[in-house]
């Protein structure tokens, strides 16, 4: 088992590569633009937090339940459908519900992506949806995360703040107000994101919030058309908010593809996530192919390294490995994809 506990399609692709190919992938400057903080906590950090949590009193989960969940993460969670994915978070959230634990988790995530002999990426836009707990307000949550992000130079890391679909307009307003306030203070808030269970909420309710974000020069990236049950009408409405980037964009119809192509909107692609949540059947038919064919900007990302047991290097291995383990791109093609990710950083897009 490697330090990242990687497993599954991305590990198989990585293992199939020659040493020189791995070194090539490692050497590419690349940006990770779609990583959810609480979905990216290294398993060793989660175990440490769980041990401390169990030792403390007043546990919401029994120690048995908590350890079982962590063992599940280690062994690999089985997802029948994307809806199963969202039920994984309550245990993680219990472990990151006070400022100290949240800071440690954030530090571990940043470290795993950006530090060490073999950093996963050159640049990281980390995203998170702030939660109010009995130990911290939403603002304290974001400040704690930002303190960690800002330990890195601005050429290395920035923060995107997520509006979580199920939580409702009052919460979205509170979160956006905090994002705007922190941006005014000069903190490293780069943009806002729409995420969470893709079948929850009426996206019309977000219109004013994303307009306000754009007015304040915050970037906007939207999880869009993540499942076949997201309607074309919803997708077109989200596109009318003129997002700077799109997450997943798995089930765009022709009309939506035309808009995205004309606007040249970069797409954050999370290959393992799509395969494991079964929103993509295989790499042969994965929607990345249609974007690669027309040179449309894409950024290869991990989404949630913890449940999907992947890392960014292994996601790039899925590009380079020969079919059926990978897409079978050439090194030049992979280099171009990595460049696209660097050009899709919000700070680059917002300057255009």
Ligand X SMILES: CNc1ncnc2c1ncn2[C@@H]1O[C@H](COP(=O)(O)O)[C@@H](O)[C@H]1O
Concatenated DSSP letters of 18-65? -HHHHHHHHHS--EEEEEEGGGS--HHHHHHHHHHHHHSSS-SS-HHH
Rank residues 270 and 325 by Cβ distance to ligand X and give the closer one: 270
Work out how close the CB of 338 gets to ligand X at its nearest, in angstroms, rounded to a whole number.
Answer: 22
Concatenated DSSP letters of 147-184? HHHTTS-TTTEEEEEEEEGGG-HHHHHHHHHHHHHHHH
User: What is the spatial distance between Cα 303 and Cα 279, in angstroms, rounded to a whole number?
Assistant: 14
User: What is the spatial distance between Cα 274 and Cα 94, in angstroms, rounded to a whole number?
Assistant: 26
Q: Is 233 a catalytic residue?
A: no
Q: Which residue has the tokens 């330990």?
A: 151
Nearest of 268, 325, 322, 273 to residue 300 by alpha carbon: 268
Work out how close the CB of 17 gets to ligand X at its nearest, in angstroms, rounded to a whole number.
Answer: 26
Q: Which residues bind ligand X (CB under 6 A)?
A: 36-39, 85, 89, 128-129, 162, 164, 195-196, 198, 223, 226, 273, 277, 303-304
Rank residues 36 and 183 by Cβ distance to ligand X and give the closer one: 36
Concatenated DSSP letters of 48-111? HHHHHHHHSSS-SS-HHHHHHHHHHHHH----SSHHHHHTTHHHHHHHT-SHHHHHHHHHHHHH
Rank residues 131 and 345 by Cβ distance to ligand X and give the closer one: 131
Q: Is 195 helix (H, G, I), strand (E, B) or coil?
A: strand
Work out how close the CB of 80 gets to ligand X at its nearest, in angstroms, rounded to a whole number.
Answer: 14
Q: What are 206's two structure tokens?
A: 């977000």
User: What is the spatial distance between Cα 202 and Cα 232, in angstroms, rounded to a whole number?
Assistant: 13
Rank residues 38 and 94 by Cβ distance to ligand X and give the closer one: 38
Work out how close the CB of 20 gets to ligand X at its nearest, in angstroms, rounded to a whole number.
Answer: 33
Rank residues 39 and 158 by Cβ distance to ligand X and give the closer one: 39
Eight-state DSSP code of residue 322: P
Catalytic residue among 32, 125, 148, 226: 226
Work out how close the CB of 303 gets to ligand X at its nearest, in angstroms, rounded to a whole number.
Answer: 5
Eight-state DSSP code of residue 307: H
Rank residues 79 and 350 by Cβ distance to ligand X and give the closer one: 79
Work out how close the CB of 277 gets to ligand X at its nearest, in angstroms, rounded to a whole number.
Answer: 5
Cα separations in angstroms, 256 against 265, 274, 309, 329: 11, 19, 31, 26
Catalytic positions, please? Answer: 226
């Amino acid at each position: 088992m490697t330090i990242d506990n990687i497993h599954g399609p991305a590990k198989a692709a990585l293992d199939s590569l020659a040493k020189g190919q791995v070194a090539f992938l490692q050497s590419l400057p690349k940006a990770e633009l779609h990583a959810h903080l609480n979905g990216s906590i290294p398993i060793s950090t989660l175990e440490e937090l769980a041990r401390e949590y169990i030792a403390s009193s007043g546990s919401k989960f029994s120690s048995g339940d908590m350890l079982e969940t962590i063992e599940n993460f280690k062994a690999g969670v089985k997802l029948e459908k994307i809806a199963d994915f969202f039920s994984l978070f309550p245990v993680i959230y219990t472990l990151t519900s006070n400022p100290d634990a949240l800071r440690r988790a954030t530090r571990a995530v940043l470290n795993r992506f950006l530090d060490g002999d073999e950093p996963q990426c050159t640049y990281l836009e980390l995203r998170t949806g702030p939660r109010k707990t009995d130990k911290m307000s939403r603002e304290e949550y974001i400040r704690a995360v930002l303190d960690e992000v800002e330990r890195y130079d601005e050429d290395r890391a920035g923060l995107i703040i997520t509006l979580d679909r199920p939580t409702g307009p009052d919460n979205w307003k509170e979160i956006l107000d905090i994002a705007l306030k922190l941006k005014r203070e000069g903190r490293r808030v780069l943009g806002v994101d729409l995420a969470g269970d893709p079948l929850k909420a009426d996206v019309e309710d977000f219109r004013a919030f994303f307009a306000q974000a754009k007015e304040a020069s915050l970037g906007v990236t939207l999880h869009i058309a993540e499942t076949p049950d997201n309607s074309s009408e919803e997708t077109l409405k989200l596109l009318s908010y003129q997002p700077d980037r799109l997450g997943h964009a798995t089930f765009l119809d022709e009309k939506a593809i035309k808009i995205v192509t004309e606007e040249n909107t970069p797409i954050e692609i999370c290959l393992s996530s799509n395969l494991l949540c079964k929103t993509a059947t295989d790499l042969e038919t994965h929607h990345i192919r249609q974007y690669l064919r027309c040179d449309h900007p894409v950024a290869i990302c991990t989404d949630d390294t913890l449940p999907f047991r992947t890392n960014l290097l292994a996601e790039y291995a899925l590009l380079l490995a020969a079919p059926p383990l990978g897409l079978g791109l050439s090194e030049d093609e992979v280099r171009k994809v990595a460049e696209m990710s660097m050009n899709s950083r919000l700070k680059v897009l917002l300057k255009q």
